[in-house]
Chain A
Amino acid sequence: MTRPNPRLRALFLGAGYAFLYVPILVLMVLSFNDSAMMTTWTGFSLRWYHELFADRALLEAARLSLIIAAFTATAAVVIGTWAGYVLARMGRFRGFALFVGLVSAPLVIPEVVLGISLLLMFVELSDLLGWEGSNGAFTIWVGHVILSMAYVSVIIQSRVRDLDRSLEDAALDLGASPVKVFFQIVLPLIAPALVSAWLLAFTLSLDDVVIASFLTGPGHTTLPLEVFSRVRLGLKPEINALATLFMLLVAVFVLIANRVQNRRGYSA
C-alpha cells in the first residue's frame, strides 16, 4: 500500500491548519480577556459578552441578518435545486453553455460587480414602474439569493449526478409522472445535500458585506454592515465576543451538515 510520507504530511497539514486557525483561536481567547488591549491579558472576564448583548444596534442588525439569511437560504435552495437538477439531468440543450455560465458566474465574479449590477437593475425597475419604495431587506434578499443559488446548484448538481439514474427510470416505469418522480424519489434521496445547501446559503447571507452595502436602504443595517463600519476604524472587543459566538454557531452548523450527510448514506 503506497502511503504518503508521514513526516511531510504532518509538516504541511500542521502548518496549513495552524495558519487557518490561529486568527480564529486568537479572537476566541481575546473575547474572554478582561482588558480591551490585545496584547495584555488582565484576567478572564465575560464583560465583552455582556456589552455585546446590551448593544441594541448590533442586536437589531443581527436580528435582521438572521431573518434575511433564513429567507435567502430557503429561496436559494428552491431555485438552486431546480437549476442544479436541470444541469444534471436535462443533458445538452440549446443555450446550455450560457446556462452553465450564468449559474456559476456568481461563484467567480467579484462581488462588487454583482452588487452594482443588481442595484442598477433595481434603480431602473423603480424608474420604469414608478415604484417609490426604497431599497432594504427585500433588495438585499434578492441579491443574496442570486449569490447563494450558485453555490446551491453546484452542490445539488453534483449530488444528483451521483444518483443512480435507473431509480428514476424505475419510478417512471412503474407509472409515476416525471414530476412525481422528482418529489417522491429524487428529493428524498438528495435530502442531506439539501440540508447542507441550506446551511451554506444561510452562512453566506449572514456574512455578506459587499452586496448588502449596495442593496441596502435607510434603516436596514445588517450585522456585517454594522461590524464593518465599526472595525474600519480599529479593534472593538465586543466584536471579539461576537466572532466567538458566530464561530461556535457555524461549527454547530458544519457538524450538523456533516452528520446528516453521513448518516443517511444511501448508496443511491
Chain B
Amino acid sequence: MRELTDAVRGEVVRLTRTRLALWTLVAAAACGGLLTALVALTGPENATPPMPGMDTSEGVSGVLSLLGATLFVPALIGTMAITGEFRHRTVATTFLAVPRRGRVLVAKLVAYGGLGLAYGLGMGLFAVAGIYAGTSARGIVPGLGFEAILDTAMRYGVAAAIYMVLGVGIGAVARHQLIAIGITLGYFYFAENLVMILPGANIVYPFLPGGATSALTGATQLLEMVAAETGVSGPVVQAPVVGAVVLLGYALAASALAAAVSLRRDVV
C-alpha cells in the first residue's frame, strides 16, 4: 500500500513540476469562460441560422451545451499522462522506480482524476462567469436561473473530469501520442456521429460514451436534432448517475486492457 501511495504522490509531484497543470487551467478558462462569454456576447440569435437568444432558457442551455464539444480537451490532456512518458522516453525511469506497471497506471488515474476534477470545477465556474459576463455586457438577464446554470455547468465539469480519466486509459492503450489523439478525436467527432444515424443505433447509443455524456449532462439537443432529421425514434437517455458510471466503465476497461497488454511490452 505504501508503494502505491508513493506512486500517486510521485505522479502529483510530476504534474506540479511541469507546465501541464498551468496549461490545464488555461484550457479550462478558454473552454469554459471564453467560449461561453463570446457566444453570449455576440448573441446566439445572431448566428446563422438564428438560435434562441440568451434571454430564453433554450438559448442559455444551448450555449452551455457547447461545453460538450470541448470535452475532447480534458481527454487529450489525460492521454498525455502515459503517451508523454513514451514520447519523452521517461517511461524507463518511471518503471525503474515503480516496476509494477499496473501500479504506475493506477497512480496516474488517481493523479489525473484529481487534475480532471480541478479542470471540471474550473471549466464549470468559468462557464457560469462567462455567461453572466456576456449577458450583463449586453444588458440581458439570462433566461435560466443561477442555480440551473450552475447545475448544468457542473454536470459538464464532472463529465470533463471523467473524460480526463478516460484519456489516461486511451493513452495507456495507444502508448503513442499521435495515435491516442487520433483515436480520441476520430471517435468523438466521426465514429460516434456515424453510429447515431444508423438505424437502431438508439438502442446502443445510451451506452456509448456520447450517449452516456448526454445522460450525465442532460444535453439531448443533438439527439433530438438527429432524430428529427433521420426519422428514427427519439433518444433514450439514462439517469445522470448511470451516464457517469458508463463513462467510468470505459475508462476502467481501457486501463485494464492497457495493464494486460500494451503496458506489458518491453521498454526499448
Q: Do A and B bind each other?
A: no
Binding site for B on A (CB under 8 A): none
